[in-house]
Amino acid sequence: MQHNKMFAFFFLIVMTCALGLICVASLIQQRDLQLQRLAVRSLHGTNDRADGGGLRGQMTELMQQPADDAVDDNDSGIAARWRQLGNDLNAYECVGWRAQRDCSPEGGSDPQNDRLCNATIHNGESGYCEIRHKDTGVTRRVMQMHCDSLRPDVAFRCDEFVSLLEQQLVDDQIRAAATVLEKHKNNDDKVDMSMGCTLPVELWYMRSETDPSHPILRELTGKYDVFMREILDPRAKKFYTKTYAVFYSAFDQVLLLDADNFAVRDPTYLFETPEFKNTGAIFWPDFWRPKKTIFNIQPTSFVWDVFDLDAVDMFEQESGQVLIDRSVHQKALNVLMYYAFNPGTFERLRLAWGDKDLFRFAWLKTKSSFHMIKTPPGSAGLKLPDVNIFCGVTMVQHDPDRGIVFLHRNQEKLTSENREKVWSHIQDFRVDKVPMEDYDVRGANGGRYFPQFKRCYGKDIYYEKAFTVTAMEELPFAGLEQQLLDLVQEAARIDVLLLLALSASCGWYSQHIISLSYEGNDVQGATHDVIVRRQHLLAKITAYTGGSGSSAAAKIVLSSVDYLTDGSSSLDGGADTIINPMDDGQEEKLDGKLNENEKKSQANPKETKPPTSKPTQKPTQKLGTAPEKNSETSKSPSRAPVEKSQSVEDPWAPIKSVAELDMYECKAWRQTANCSPRGESKPKRDASCDKIILPSDSGFCEYRHRKTGAIRRIVGAKCKSRASQMGYSCANATMLVRYNLLADGYKPLYPMSFENNQRDFLQQNDLSTTKSDKAVVVSGAKMEKPKSFSRGIAYVVYEQLLLSVYAAIRALRSTGCKLPIELWYREEETNTSHPLLQELTGKYGAYLRVIQDSRAIKFYTKLYAVFYSAFDNLLLLDADNFAARDPTYLFATEVYNDTGAVFWPDFWMPNRTIFKTKKNSDVWELMGVPYIDMFEQESGQVLVNRAKHTKALHAMLHYALTEPHLPAEFNMLWGDKDLFRFAWMRTNSNFHMISRPAGSAGLKAPNLNIFCGSTMVQHDPKGDIVFLHRNIVKFLPDGNNTEKFWHYVQQYNKDQDLRFYEVRGDVDHRWFPNIRKCYGKRINYLRAYSLKPITDFPFAGLEDEIISHVVEGEKLIKDAKWVPTPTAPPMTKPPKKHINTDSRKTK
């Protein structure tokens, strides 16, 4: 059985430690006790028992009622401005949203985008809400927004301004809140210190969640000087239990620690540091700061307005450890509690994550002093042997002198089953030797090197310059991890037994534990009769069990239990309800007993089992020994009758294979509310499997297993998540799931073989491996035919593109590029006798490759070419993409050597896109990829190490050849544009997306700052221009091919915040009559973009050269008196139709 899901993911410890100066406060729940015990025991292991003294070791008087000056009345912030107007938000009414330009609330009026008060304002919009005093008519600006003031997918309405702004008016409200809090203190701050313990520990708990008589708690209170503290305020929950514990602690000075945070040395010395004595508070930094944040706490974030603070350029706070002198920071603590008990605004707008930054915000709000540790966090984790690739899974925090003091294991939690060592090395930033700008941490997938980890934090590669990596055995706390693992193993024994017993009773926990014994503890036997709400505990159990990992006991569902006068129940089976965790056959016994009870129930539907008396206590049996065959504890527990189709297996659990999918049949469409498939059920709008699901529908398709009757919910639909009106029904919804699953282990008709690909290359070009007499001209010199298939370039062509690809290859060769080139074509589209093909293959190192699969058409020919190319390392280029320099160096870049794939960004991001890759699009579910906020891909250039990425290439070919092409059929993706990155993400493969956004080359209106881009400009990993993709005005056989369009190049400034990056497709025939559509930043670009004449760049003459090659190509065609032979045009698909649900029903 797996027990790791039963352990809590979050614990709280408030601790002041050493020489009798300890204070621990923790919110504990029944399932948290194992690690709670571990944290306390490991903490005590860092200290020598000694007599204590001083102020911190003594119980202090209660914190006094906050003074009237708890908030500075001279504050010149938003709160002060409101006080001047009567400090009454309700005296104002909303007028409307006033849109502003340039992504700034002061960027200039944009009246065409003004909105009504009830309109939804999204991330990416700039402006403010205008409100008016109901009596005086005075108007004010509130809710002032930059484009990036909110996180993606966060929205608000101006008519919500009262509820959203009341957080700022903390002045009077905090006094009222503090007064309410004081009412609890007389009863809450009494701790029995009669034991004279010098290392007092407070364990905070809520009675609704924790039984204080639990054996583990008895051990802690009996051996480790722990005192129980009850949380009395129901508002103190989740993250905010930590602030509650700090506020109501009985000690003056406290060190707040998460329970997965381990001290590597006695932290008592922190209380004596000058930084703590001078400020009374020490906070620790998170990985993130304004320039590099995943929480959007940056200068223009709305979080500063909500908390009425000036933006501060500093590291965010990591609250896994906080050191506070409560006696000097009453004002800040009052504000902290107000934030904790009034989290509506910052939770509603996702401005802060839990309590993570609330401490520093409260201290900043009250202008209270604190010290932020200057050394940024390091990481503890694993390093590959002999290779500088690192994966951090534990945050490393330092003291004011830069020494390591805490290891916060917040990724890979310690559980009874997760006992693998994960601390082989520690990575630390070179604070003295490297500028802080070089501190760069990211969260990356474990990937191929660390598949056991969902996420790695730290600097994973190329860290040598800025980071040190030290083996754990070289550090003084080398044995800490083994000590923790030993304690986990010991503590797990009792906890697992209790949890199994709880599962066996299926939620009513009136369990008679008569066989309880574990090593290292005094408990030899106990009778534990505590009635806990059945449904509450059942929900807790089933929440941690689902899919294939659910336990046998947790799969059981009981009918309601009738409790009898003697304390037993109608389903009390006595001692046989205790599960032996060491019995490997338990699951079979449970299922067998369950089936037996089903039969009995069907035979005697009205039979009621008589009450049974409680079992007598039997001799203690040690854990790990097998029970006697006839002992009662070895019997399978009796179960209530259950309908065959009933199961607590997660109905949303993903289907993992096509074979499994084929075992299900459609049952019905289930409508839900709130535009969410997990919203409240709306049974009146349920429908049959034939119902066409429209973009306005939300709900899911309910499927039933043909043999077991298990229910699955598939293809959850969100309102307006499908961009097209193409409908589908539940009857054929499995095709969506099937398309997703086929990406795993896709097997092409013609398997991938590098040897076969190279053989085909030679055969199709009438070459043999022994020939060496074919030379080509490159910049006036001769170049031999390919001697190696290590690197190459590929284009896909048809006759309309030959002029463009001829000019592209001629220009490419003039840069000095000697890479061999594949020209992929379809026989029905291209005549290989064309004079331009003859010229390219005869002189310029190009080789013809025929596309042999009839399904590889249109955009998908590019994916086919990448899969079947003869080159190990391939640069795929569109025929209208022109290299500004020899691109060969790209194969030697660090990012390519590290990842094996480099992709380039399109103009669009999820919150600013003309395509359908927004967060609520169904494309993420269809492709089996979690949503990621990143630039879309522009596939005019793709660089791939095919040898390294065979798995991703197979998924890519599935997207190219599997019909129907659902992403296109449903109008979710455009052609091949994003299929590369989806294939790589689907297979968890590494790739590098070029960080500098795409620019534009084009024209500028005379004497006006109006720009029209007609060519996409792409950059290399250093941000320099490498490709100009002329995808708007193309070189065509009958086109005007001599007009120049590259007068200016517009680039987004390096290191510029992306909130100002905005591209649109504008029609401007007044200034640019010959361009169908202009791309780039048309106007108001001076703030974030540079616009330079083409003459300022080293490739200034490139367009002239390309045009000359086009003219030359036209002459070659004319001189050859070429008459195009009839060939089929590029193959196209038939018009989209609604899928015929009648012909695709699941049988």
Asked if residue 719 lies in contact with residue 674, where contact means CB atoms within 8 angstroms, the answer is: no
My answer on whether omega of the bond before 285 falls inside 30° of 0, hence cis, is: no
Give me the residues paired with residue 390 across strands: 383
Report whether pLDDT(536) > 90: no
pLDDT band at 22 (very low <50, low <70, confident <90, very high): very low
What pLDDT does 251 receive?
Answer: 81
Give me the residues paired with residue 382 across strands: 391
What pLDDT does 259 receive?
Answer: 80
Highest mean pLDDT among 374-388, 757-771, 1015-1029: 1015-1029
Report whether pLDDT(809) > 70: yes
Domain of residue 435, residue span: 378-483
**Residue that has been written with the tokens 């009958």 in this structure:** 1038
CA–CA dist 765, 645 (Å, integer): 62
What pLDDT does 1123 receive?
Answer: 80
Tokens of 475: 């550090």
pLDDT band at 938 (very low <50, low <70, confident <90, very high): very high
Tokens of 501: 């017993």
H/E segment holding residue 700:
strand 699-705
Asked if residue 909 lies in contact with residue 886, where contact means CB atoms within 8 angstroms, the answer is: no
Burial of 996 from C-beta contacts in 10 A (0-12 / 13-18 / 19+): buried
51 belongs to a structural domain: no
Whether 572 and 713 share a structural domain: no
What pLDDT does 1003 receive?
Answer: 94
Whether 424 and 442 share a structural domain: yes
264 belongs to a structural domain: no
Where is pLDDT greater, at 703 or 522?
703
Residue 516 has phi, psi (to 5 degrees) of -125, 115
Report whether pLDDT(1065) > 90: no
436 belongs to a structural domain: yes
Report the CATH number that the domain containing residue 882 is assigned in CATH: 3.90.550.10
What pLDDT does 226 receive?
Answer: 75
Whether 784 and 923 share a structural domain: yes
CA–CA dist 902, 890 (Å, integer): 9
Whether 982 and 881 share a structural domain: yes
Report whether pLDDT(248) > 60: yes
Closest of 523, 520, 501 to residue 512, by C-alpha? 501
What pLDDT does 500 receive?
Answer: 37
Tokens of 705: 């297993």
H/E segment holding residue 398:
strand 390-398
CA–CA dist 941, 955 (Å, integer): 19
Where is pLDDT greater, at 1139 or 398?
398
What pLDDT does 890 receive?
Answer: 97
Q: Give 674-728 as a 3 state SS string.
A: CCCCCCCECHHHCECCCCEECCCCCEEEEEEECCCCCEEEEEEECCCCCCCCCCE
Q: How do strand 873-877 and strand 791-796 relate by DSSP bridges?
A: parallel
**Residue that has been written with the tokens 């990356």 in this structure:** 444
pLDDT in tens, 488-510: 766 555 444 444 333 333 222 22
Asked if residue 786 lies in contact with residue 804, where contact means CB atoms within 8 angstroms, the answer is: no
Where is pLDDT greater, at 792 or 16?
792
Tokens of 1129: 């045009």
Report the mean per-residue pLDDT for the chain. Answer: 75
Mark residue 1115 as left, alpha or beta (left: phi above 0; alpha: psi -120 to 50; beta: remaining).
Answer: alpha
Q: Render 43-83 in DSSP notation, one character per residue.
A: HHTTS------SGGGS--PPPPPPPTTSS-TT--SHHHHHH
Report whether pLDDT(1090) > 50: yes
Whether 913 and 976 share a structural domain: yes
Average pLDDT over residues 801-818: 96
Give me the residues paired with residue 842 across strands: none
- For residue 247, the Cα-to-chain-centroid distance in whole angstroms is 33
Whether 907 and 817 share a structural domain: yes
969 belongs to a structural domain: yes
First to last CA, the chain: 36
1032 belongs to a structural domain: yes
Tokens of 877: 């280029």
Cβ count within 10 A of residue 194: 6
- Into how many domains does the chain fold? 6
Asked if residue 654 lies in contact with residue 715, where contact means CB atoms within 8 angstroms, the answer is: no
**Residue that has been written with the tokens 């990143």 in this structure:** 934
Q: Give 612-648 as a 3 state SS string.
A: CCCCCCCCCCCCCCCCCCCCHHHCCCCCCCCCCCCCC
CA–CA dist 470, 736 (Å, integer): 48
Whether 668 and 805 share a structural domain: no
- The residue among 452, 483, 514 that closes a domain is 483
Cβ count within 10 A of residue 818: 17
Closest of 680, 726, 677 to residue 697, by C-alpha? 677
Asked if residue 327 lies in contact with residue 257, where contact means CB atoms within 8 angstroms, the answer is: no
CA–CA dist 73, 75 (Å, integer): 5
pLDDT band at 725 (very low <50, low <70, confident <90, very high): low
CA–CA dist 1104, 644 (Å, integer): 76
Whether 476 and 515 share a structural domain: no
Closest of 1132, 591, 597, 1117 to residue 840, by C-alpha? 1117
Q: What 3-state DSSP class applies to 822?
A: strand
Whether 535 and 627 share a structural domain: yes
Whether 629 and 686 share a structural domain: no
Tokens of 460: 């994973």
- The residue among 160, 179, 196 that closes a domain is 160
What pLDDT does 145 receive?
Answer: 92
Average pLDDT over residues 1033-1042: 87
Report whether pLDDT(529) > 50: no
Asked if residue 315 lies in contact with residue 376, where contact means CB atoms within 8 angstroms, the answer is: yes
pLDDT band at 775 (very low <50, low <70, confident <90, very high): very low
Q: Render 1090-1125 in DSSP notation, one character per residue.
A: EEEEGGGSTTTTHHHHHHHHHHHHHHHHHHTT--PP
Average pLDDT over residues 919-928: 83
Report whether pLDDT(951) > 60: yes
128 belongs to a structural domain: yes
CA–CA dist 944, 948 (Å, integer): 9
What pLDDT does 867 receive?
Answer: 96
Report whether pLDDT(73) > 50: no
Where is pLDDT greater, at 180 or 806?
806
Q: Render 1018-1059 in DSSP notation, one character per residue.
A: EE-TTS-EEEEE--SS---TTS-TT----SEEEEEPTT--GG
The structure's pTM equals: 0.48
194 belongs to a structural domain: no
Average pLDDT over residues 377-388: 90
849 secondary structure, DSSP code? E
CA–CA dist 907, 977 (Å, integer): 12
Report whether pLDDT(325) > 50: yes
Average pLDDT over residues 816-828: 94
Flag the least confident range among 732-736, 901-905, 1117-1121.
732-736
Cβ count within 10 A of residue 959: 26
What pLDDT does 53 receive?
Answer: 33
CA–CA dist 861, 851 (Å, integer): 8
Whether 626 and 676 share a structural domain: no
1 belongs to a structural domain: no
CA–CA dist 1037, 661 (Å, integer): 50
Flag the least confident range among 812-821, 911-920, 1069-1078.
911-920
Whether 154 and 106 share a structural domain: yes
pLDDT in tens, 867-881: 999 999 999 999 999
Closest of 705, 829, 849, 838 to residue 767, by C-alpha? 849
What pLDDT does 168 receive?
Answer: 57
H/E segment holding residue 810:
helix 802-814
∠ at Cα 134 (130, 139), nearest 5°? Answer: 30
Mark residue 983 as left, alpha or beta (left: phi above 0; alpha: psi -120 to 50; beta: remaining).
Answer: alpha
Amino acid at residue number 1051: Q
Query: What number of H helices and E strands is found in the chain?
Result: 27, 42
Flag the least confident range among 202-206, 720-724, 979-983, 1082-1086.
720-724
Q: Give 296-341 as a 3 state SS string.
A: CCCCCCCHHHHCCCCCCCCCCEEEEEEEEECCCCHHHHHHHHHHHH
What pLDDT does 224 receive?
Answer: 67
Closest of 150, 384, 1141, 199 to residue 687, by C-alpha? 1141
Flag the least confident range among 152-161, 801-810, 1026-1035.
152-161
CA–CA dist 979, 911 (Å, integer): 19
